[in-house]
Structure 1
Amino acid sequence: MITLDQARRLTDEQSVKSASRARRPATDITPSRPVSRGATQILEFFLFLTILVSCFVFIEPSPYEFAMGPLAFGCLIAGVTIRRELLPMIWLLLLWNIGGAIAYFRVSDIDLTDRFVIITLFMAMSAIIFASLFSTDSVRRLRIMRIAYIIAALVAATAGIIGYFNLTAGLGELFAPGGRARGPFKDPNVYGPFLILPILFLLQSLLSRGLRILPTAILLVILFGFFLSFSRGAWIHFVLSGVIMLGLMIVTAENHRTRLRLILLGAVCVGLLAAAMAAALSFDAIANMFKERAQAVQSYDVGSGGRFTMQILALTEVLNYPFGMGPFAFSEAYGIQQHNVYLQAFLVYGWIGGLAYIALIVLTLIAGLGAALKRTPWQPYLIAVYATFVGEVGEGIVIDTDHWRHFFLLLGVIWGLVAASRDFKRRLA
Structure 2
Amino acid sequence: MITVGDMAPRGFTPAVMPAWAPAAGAVRRAKAPFRERLLMTVLFAAVLSSCVAFIEPSPHDALMGALAIVALAAGVRFHRILLIPFTLLLVWNFFGLLTLFNVPDQKETVQYAATSVYLAIAALIFALIVADKTMPRMAALEIAYVMAAMISALCGIAGYFHLVPGAAMFTLYDRAMGMFKDPNVYGPFLILPLLFLLQHMIVKRINLLSLAVAGIIMFGLLLGFSRGSWFAFAVGLAVVIVLSFLTAPTPKVRMRIIGLSIAGLAALAVLLVLLLTMTSLGSMFSTRAQLIQSYDVGTGGRFVLQELAIGSVLEFPNGMGPFEFSRIFGLQQHNVYLQAFLVYGWGGGFAYVLLVLTTLWVGFANALKCRPWQGYAIAAIGTFFGVALEGFIIDTDHWRSFFLVLGLIWGLAAATRAAGKDLPAAATMVAPREAPPYSPRRSGRGVAQPG
- Fold shared by both chains (TM-score > 0.5): yes
**Take 1:38 and 1:111, find their aligned partners in 2: how far apart are those partners?**
41
2:130 to 134, 138, 141: 134
Residue 185 of structure 2 corresponds to 190
**Take 2:129 and 2:256, find their aligned partners in 1: how far apart are those partners?**
34
1:51 CA drift (Å): 0.5
Gaps of 5+ in 2: 14-30, 424-440, 442-451
**Take 1:234 and 1:36, find their aligned partners in 2: how far apart are those partners?**
39
Structure 1 position 82 matched with structure 2 position 113: no
1:424 CA drift (Å): 1.3
Residue type of the alignment partner of 2:411: G
What's the CA shift string for 1:312-360, capped at 9, x where partnerless?
Answer: 0000000011110000000110110000000000000000100000111
Residue 28 of structure 1 corresponds to none
Map 1:312-351 onto structure 2 (within 5 A). 312-351=307-346
- Check the 8 A contact 1:110/1:328 in 2, yes or no: no
Per the alignment, do residues 407 and 128 of structure 1 end up closer, same or farther by CA in structure 2, a change over 3 Å counting? same
Structure 1 position 368 matched with structure 2 position 363: yes
1:84 CA drift (Å): 1.4
**Take 1:221 and 1:339, find their aligned partners in 2: how far apart are those partners?**
29
1:164 to 139, 160, 172: 160
Per the alignment, do residues 333 and 359 of structure 1 end up closer, same or farther by CA in structure 2, a change over 3 Å counting? same
Larger deviation, residues 104-113 vs 363-372: 104-113
Q: What RMSD over aligned residues (CA atoms) do the two structures have, in Å?
A: 2.0
Residue 230 of structure 1 corresponds to 225
Residue 311 of structure 1 corresponds to 306
Aligned length, in residue pairs: 406
Larger deviation, residues 267-276 vs 342-351: 267-276
Residue 16 of structure 1 corresponds to 10
1:369 CA drift (Å): 1.0
TM-score by length of 1: 0.91
Residue type of the alignment partner of 1:339: H
1:355 to 339, 350, 357: 350
**Take 2:366 and 2:213, find their aligned partners in 1: how far apart are those partners?**
29
Structure 1 position 391 matched with structure 2 position 386: yes
**Take 1:287 and 1:311, find their aligned partners in 2: how far apart are those partners?**
31
Residue 98 of structure 1 corresponds to 94
**Take 2:55 and 2:275, find their aligned partners in 1: how far apart are those partners?**
30
Residue type of the alignment partner of 1:397: F
1:198 CA drift (Å): 1.1
Residue type of the alignment partner of 1:204: Q
1:199 CA drift (Å): 1.0
2:194 to 190, 199, 203: 199
Q: Which has the higher helix share?
A: 1
- SS at 2:173 equivalent: helix
Residue 420 of structure 1 corresponds to 415
Per the alignment, do residues 319 and 140 of structure 1 end up closer, same or farther by CA in structure 2, a change over 3 Å counting? same
**Take 2:164 and 2:151, find their aligned partners in 1: how far apart are those partners?**
15
TM-score by length of 2: 0.87
Per the alignment, do residues 427 and 181 of structure 1 end up closer, same or farther by CA in structure 2, a change over 3 Å counting? closer
Residue type of the alignment partner of 2:51: C
Gaps of 5+ in 1: 20-34
